[in-house]
Amino acid sequence: EDQVTQSPEALRLQEGESSSLNCSYTVSGLRGLFWYRQDPGKGPEFLFTLYSAGEEKEKERLKATLTKKESFLHITAPKPEDSATYLCAVSKNTDKLIFGTGTRLQVFP
Amino acid sequence: GAVVSQHPSRVICKSGTSVKIECRSLDFQATTMFWYRQFPKKSLMLMATSNEGSKATYEQGVEKDKFLINHASLTLSTLTVTSAHPEDSSFYICKPDTTYGYTFGSGTRLTVV
């Protein structure tokens, strides 16, 4: 069965304290892996999409990496405004997305 | 990128009434719209896929008579929750197919009392 698992469920960081979020997946025929940011009461905001193992993408303090079994979202020197829920999703041979349950990140000043 | 406008952002309705949620594509024509549902602290779950001019495709376990989806034009897809009950309270979000990027609508918080 296709599955996406994110860890940790919640993460509290001091401002400037770098860390990584994990997304492990068991999907046959992966087409793409997506990272989204979601603020309370809002729709998900697209961050990255990765298509093949070894691929990396960066945006400001965020860097996403992909292997054959998992993806990491690295957050370097986070700021309080980075506080949000980070969602990982995979797609197979269609545009349907299978989501993980997310990591709730809180960054304290 | 593609802009999707979703309304209303919040709605409270009485049990037994129906609620319509709209998703409009503002700067593109969406032939396909995906409708997701999100429970508190849970994953987004795909409910159904709407296609312009044809019947929607529902995921397993989703009641098609309760969640009516209409995609009458290339710029408007609607989800109507019929005879709503408290267990239908949730966050509903739409998303067009990836031809137009990876943007989601802003979501609708439905509370049934």
- At B18-37, the pLDDT tens digits run 999 999 988 888 889 999 99
What pLDDT was estimated at residue B72?
Answer: 82
8 A C-beta contact, residue B4 and residue B104: yes
Check CB contact of B3 with chain A, cutoff 8 Å: no
What pLDDT was estimated at residue B20?
Answer: 98
Distance from CA of B99 to the nearest CA of A (A): 9
- At A33-75, the pLDDT tens digits run 999 999 998 999 999 999 999 999 999 999 999 999 999 999 9
What pLDDT was estimated at residue B3?
Answer: 84
Please state the φ and ψ torsions of residue A80, each to the nearest 5 degrees.
Answer: -55, -30
Residue A93 reports pLDDT greater than 80: no
- The beta-carbon neighbor of B102 closest among A4, A46, A99 is A46
Residue B1 reports pLDDT greater than 70: no
Residues near B104 by Cβ (< 8 Å), separated by ≥ 6? A36, A43, A44, A45, A46, B4, B36, B93, B94, B95
Please state the φ and ψ torsions of residue A4, each to the nearest 5 degrees.
Answer: -130, 125
CA distance A48 to A25: 16
